[in-house]
Amino acid sequence: MGFFDKILEKLKLKKKDEPAAAPAKIVASERPADALAAGQAARAAKEAQKAKDDVAHPAGATAAGAPAAISVVDVVKHLEELSAGKDLNWKVSIVDLLKVLGIDSSREARNELATELGCPADLMKDSAKMNVWLHKEVLKKIAENGGNIPASLLD
């Protein structure tokens, strides 16, 4: 389970028993070129299957052609309840957001989360800039996963 998955789990956007995506199998070879070619072939096959699946089952549609319902969790309400009586401002601080959720908020943990979410290397060198980026990215990802994050917090 990735670090961000812990956040989704705490916000009830992901169940503990939901299986994680299976990692791609990489076939090792004695010759690096063979391993590279095998990896490229596996990726090409996966992309071809995804394209085929997308045509057969477009995103957001059910078998009957109706839009699929997306479950929305009232993340704001949940975070407000968790932060009640605490001097934490989860709306502006990634450290406070992680603390409200009961997740490790240390620099090392935030570095791990930033790396997982693809933080640019230049921001990783500056803790303050990384934290601002990380806070916005986490809120954006929560919204993408069914959380009701207000647009004012996503700007």
| pLDDT tens per residue across span 43-66 | 555 565 555 555 444 444 444 444
Per-residue pLDDT, 36:
44
Say if 26 falls within a structural domain: no
| Sequence-separated (6 or more) residues with CB below 8 Å from residue 131 | 93, 94, 95, 110
Check whether residue 59 and residue 121 sit in a common domain: no
Say if 24 falls within a structural domain: no
Which of 1-10, 21-30, 75-84 shows the lowest per-residue confidence on average (mean pLDDT)? Answer: 21-30
Check whether residue 76 and residue 135 sit in a common domain: yes
Q: How many domains are there within the chain?
A: 2
Range of the domain at 103: 3-17+70-154
Say if 130 falls within a structural domain: yes
| pLDDT tens per residue across span 120-131 | 999 999 999 999
Check whether residue 78 and residue 40 sit in a common domain: no
Residue with tokens 């997306």: 70
pTM: 0.63
Check whether residue 63 and residue 137 sit in a common domain: no
What is the rounded average pLDDT for all residues in the chain?
76
String of b and e for 45-61 (b: at least 16 CB within 10 Å)?
A: eeeeeeeeeeeeeeeee
Say if 40 falls within a structural domain: yes
